């Protein structure tokens, strides 16, 4: 008679537990290898901190470097004006010198005694005489055929019918004290000068807000800059006088001047033309008067047009 032998339950459970332990050990060991240690955490923190500080320092260096870069202002294309003038006629067609005609010669000739007696007789016997022709040997011709001078009043030279800048521009400054006023002049690179009296040439001073520097221009014909002078009393006029005296320039019986640099003159011409164009006057020939005023602009100053008058159109 056969019998069935059942396995011991404790033996089976121990074998199962032994097999499960062998299958779990590799996974646990792998997880232990991938676990982040405190050393890794601390190292990562310091690396991130060093990267942040390096980026911050690099940004500060870029800001410092760009702040030291200076970009020169874009040059302004000069607006050249050629006002018509009253100077001596240039030689050329229709303006060359021509000898006077016969009638003009007769007017310049001194009449003889016989001509004088005849002229007196005619004046007495006639109520009015429109023309008296003397008996001379000159040939009767027309008067001179020259075209004359068609140029209107203005500086020497041929050109357009415009009012010159030194006549139509007015520069106004506002300052509480002489220091603020001299700072504006130095910002625009405007020089003060004195001319006239018994001194030959022009004395010029710059760097007025600091230690003034002076020089003398003996040949005044070589000075081509635009200049302005006072036309009416002003408190700022006394500032000019004090600044010139500070520079050691003699002023008795002399006229004070402001010399405008060429770049500033071009800038003012551009500002003037833009303003007049915005008011419907695109040509400088239409401008009669322009008043500029110096105003603060950030760390510096700038000129603005405060008023402008225009010429009446010619019929």
pLDDT tier for residue 139 given thresholds of 50, 70 and 90: very low
Alpha-helix runs per DSSP H in 35-172: 38-68, 102-108, 113-125, 165-168
On whether the pTM is more than 0.75, the answer is no
Domain residue ranges in the chain: 40-68, 100-146, 165-310
Instruction: For residue range 165-183, list pLDDT tens digits in order.
Output: 999 999 999 999 999 999 9
pLDDT tier for residue 204 given thresholds of 50, 70 and 90: very high
Q: Do 255 and 220 contact (CB within 8 A), yes or no?
A: no
What average pLDDT does range 120-149 have in this prediction?
A: 43
- Per-residue pLDDT, 213: 94
Beta strands in the chain (DSSP E): 169-172, 191-195, 202-206, 213-217, 226-229, 255-260, 287-297, 300-310
Q: 16-25, 190-199, 238-247, 255-264: which range is least confident on average?
A: 16-25
Q: Name residues whose C-beta falls within 8 Å of residue 89's C-beta, 6 or more positions apart in sequence.
A: 95, 149
Q: Do 191 and 204 contact (CB within 8 A), yes or no?
A: yes
Q: 5-19, 136-150, 235-249: which range is least confident on average?
A: 136-150
At 174, is the secondary structure helix, strand, or coil? Answer: coil
């Amino acid at each position: 008679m056969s019998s069935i032998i059942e396995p011991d339950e404790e033996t089976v459970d121990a074998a199962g537990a032994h097999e499960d332990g062998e299958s779990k050990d590799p996974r646990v060991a792998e997880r232990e290898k991938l676990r982040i240690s405190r050393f890794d955490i601390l190292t990562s923190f310091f690396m991130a901190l060093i990267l942040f500080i390096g980026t911050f320092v690099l940004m500060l260096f870029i800001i410092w470097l760009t702040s030291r870069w200076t970009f020169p202002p874009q040059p302004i294309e000069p607006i050249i004006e050629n006002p018509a003038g009253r100077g001596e006629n240039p030689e050329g067609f229709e303006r060359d010198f021509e000898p006077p005609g016969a009638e003009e010669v007769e007017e310049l000739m001194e009449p003889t005694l016989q001509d004088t007696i005849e002229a007196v007789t005619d004046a007495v016997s006639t109520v009015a005489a429109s023309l008296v022709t003397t008996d001379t040997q000159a040939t009767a011709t027309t008067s001179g055929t020259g075209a004359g001078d068609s140029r209107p009043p203005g500086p020497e030279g041929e050109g357009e019918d415009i009012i010159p800048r030194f006549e139509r521009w007015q520069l106004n400054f506002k300052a509480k004290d002489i220091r603020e006023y001299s700072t504006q002049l130095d910002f625009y690179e405007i020089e003060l000068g004195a001319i006239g009296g018994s001194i030959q040439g022009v004395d010029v001073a710059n760097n007025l807000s600091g230690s003034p520097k002076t020089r003398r221009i003996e040949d005044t014909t070589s000075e081509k800059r635009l200049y302005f002078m006072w036309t009416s009393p002003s408190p700022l006029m006394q500032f000019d006088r004090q600044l010139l005296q500070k520079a050691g320039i003699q002023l008795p019986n002399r006229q004070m001047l402001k010399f405008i640099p060429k770049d500033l003159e071009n800038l003012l011409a551009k500002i003037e033309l833009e303003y007049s164009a915005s008011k419907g006057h695109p040509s400088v020939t239409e401008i009669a008067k322009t008043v500029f005023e110096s105003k603060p602009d950030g760390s510096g100053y700038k000129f603005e047009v405060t008023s402008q008058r225009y010429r009446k159109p010619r019929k």
